[in-house]
Structure 1
Amino acid sequence: MTSQEWFRGENKMNKKISLRPKDMRPLSEAPEEAPKARKYDSYNPDTYKTDEQKKEELISAMTNKLDIKAEPLPQDDAEGVDSDEWGDD
């Protein structure tokens, strides 16, 4: 479609061409390959943690980072304002 056709509001279907070489088979028609044997088998189930173990580790790490102090917070030591100092304005 030319720019003049597009500005006039015409709607044409795009021309499509295949970029696949003639001697190439589409991937959808290719035979499935068997999985290749691994040279080294590095999977050891004892090395990996379950989701529950990961969760427990995370929770314990988070609680260890919390500083639980027995001393009061600064705002707990502050004296409050007398009730007669509160105004109705």
Structure 2
Amino acid sequence: MRHVAFFEATGYTVFRCLMHALQDTSIFCHVYVRCEESLLEMFDDADDFKSEYLDRMKIVTAYLTPETAAEVLFPEELRGQPVHTVVYGIGGFRT
């Protein structure tokens, strides 16, 4: 199983990457968001979301600190090893 970290997953681009990763059963997603409710609402609105995706996802909700970043990048499941891939999005402006 590959482990992928997602930061700022409520942004459109990172969210679509997360949705794509969740469709692959060989990927486990570690997701950092400031507001879990916003992420879950986005899942509710997504036509291609299936509830079984939640079994392959861990959500970390907090303000980003070195400790919360480490929790996402070095999850307990990997016993001190880092995730395989990091996906991060930088906010932009809607036009």
Higher helix proportion: 2
| TM-score, L = length of structure 1 | 0.18
| TM-score, L = length of structure 2 | 0.17
Q: Greater relative contact order: 1 or 2 (C-alpha under 8 angstroms, separation 6 or more)? A: 2
